[in-house]
Amino acid sequence: MDDGLPQHGEQWAPAWAAARERRRGRAAAAAADDKDASRVGKLDAGLLDDELAAMIREPVADALALVRPGAAERYRAELDVAIRAALFWLSAGAAARRATYGQGLQNLRYAGRAGLGLRLHVLGALAVGGPYAWARAVGAMARRGWADAAPGSARARLWRLARRAEQLARAAALVNFVAFIATGRFRSVAERALGLRLVHARPQLAHAVSFEFLNRQLVWHAFTEFVLFALPLVSASRARAWVVRRARRLLRLPAADPALAALPAAACAVCRAAPAANPYAAECGHRYCYVCIAARVQAEGSDCACLRCGRGIGRLCRFSEPAP
């Protein structure tokens, strides 16, 4: 029969034509997935994964510093590998997801030939453990002085081989990135070697771009920057004194604490030492230790008020007992 149909009778022609159309439809869908999955979305997915790992690394490092000071900096590379490995295998390594958390936010997932799960595990080992193992190996060779080994020795040849392999890997990464920009497929050399493509997890939502997460990040970043800028300009003691004074006025409470007003005249209302050490008197006549009142005036400034009567303190003078 014509058009490549098997010679088994006319009754097979409709089934063969339907199977051929289904195969063409799957091929067209795969090509559409590769075409529609934007390059920017794939690159943003990697950036989101990096940001997530950095967000987790900070509190983990702080907790580790409480257990063993200096351990977070000493084992920074191992900590980073452990966090990235946990994130990868909890997300892309799970059979139900087949996508990292960043790829999930970009509506992407991995697709490929049979054995997808095994190839994803290999990708995780190469992407997470590969750079760490290579950096450790090169660092160990450098610490042992292989770079300065005698020319022609085994160590010198291995060092040159390692440097040449690193240069080739960088060149391959550059060529792959140029190919990715041109075709939109395979962000990394490992993905290209394993045949892992990023396609839309839900094609019907391919063009529904949400900026909610980005907006939250921008607002939070601007807020933290403002707080870090404003905090050094705010005096906690002055703010506390201002709040206490306004609260007493609103609640119609006495301007001073009655318990402090009942202290002996020679006692300091701050530390309650009697008599006050090196006494200084405010304009209202109440006495304080010089260190106590000087610290309060320096912290609260013009908002500083007498603890006994509530009057503002604008000037201090050394108190001396009147001559008999």
> For the whole model, what pTM was predicted?
0.52
Instruction: Say yes or no to pLDDT of 271 above 80.
Output: yes
| Residue in this structure with the two tokens 């490092």, named with its chain if needed | 61
Query: pLDDT, tens digit, for every residue of 15-33?
Result: 777 777 776 666 555 555 4
Instruction: Say yes or no to pLDDT of 167 above 90.
Output: yes
Residue 108 per-residue DSSP state:
E
- Which pLDDT band holds residue 301 (cuts at 50, 70, 90)? confident
Tokens of 33: 């997935």
Query: pLDDT, tens digit, for every residue of 218-233?
Result: 888 888 888 888 877 7
Instruction: Say yes or no to pLDDT of 191 above 60.
Output: yes
Tokens of 198: 């990023």
Residue type, 236: A
Which pLDDT belongs to residue 81? 92
Instruction: Say yes or no to pLDDT of 1 above 70.
Output: no
> Residue 3 — left, alpha, or beta (φ > 0 → left; ψ -120 to 50 → alpha)?
left
Task: List Cα–Cα distances, 46 to 51, 84, 102, 103, in angstroms.
Answer: 9, 12, 6, 7
CB count, 10 Å around CB of 83? 19
Instruction: Say yes or no to pLDDT of 88 above 80.
Output: yes
Which pLDDT belongs to residue 5? 47
The residues, any chain, with a CB within 8 Å of residue 269's CB and separated by 6 or more, are 260, 263, 286, 288, 306, 307, 308
249-318 has which CATH code? 3.30.40.10
| Residue in this structure with the two tokens 């794939």, named with its chain if needed | 42
Measured CA to CA, the distance from residue 201 to residue 98 in angstroms comes to 9
- Which pLDDT band holds residue 322 (cuts at 50, 70, 90)? low
Residue 125 per-residue DSSP state:
I
Measured CA to CA, the distance from residue 274 to residue 251 in angstroms comes to 32
Instruction: Say yes or no to pLDDT of 9 above 60.
Output: no
Tell me how far apart the terminal alpha carbons of the chain are, to the nearest angstrom.
135
Which pLDDT belongs to residue 323? 56
Instruction: Please give the share of the chain, as a percent, with pLDDT higher than 70.
Output: 84
Measured CA to CA, the distance from residue 258 to residue 74 in angstroms comes to 56
Identify whether 131 is preceded by a cis peptide bond (ω within 30 of 0).
no
What integer is the mean pLDDT of 199-211?
A: 65
Q: Where in the chain is the domain with CATH 3.30.40.10?
A: 249-318
Residue type, 58: E
The answer to whether the CB of 149 falls within 8 A of the CB of 159 is yes
Query: pLDDT, tens digit, for every residue of 100-135?
Result: 888 888 888 888 777 888 889 999 999 999 999 999
DSSP string, 25-91: HHHHHHHHHHHHS-HHHHHHHHHHHHHHHHHHHHHHHHHHHHHSTTHHHHTHHHHHHHHHHHHHHHH
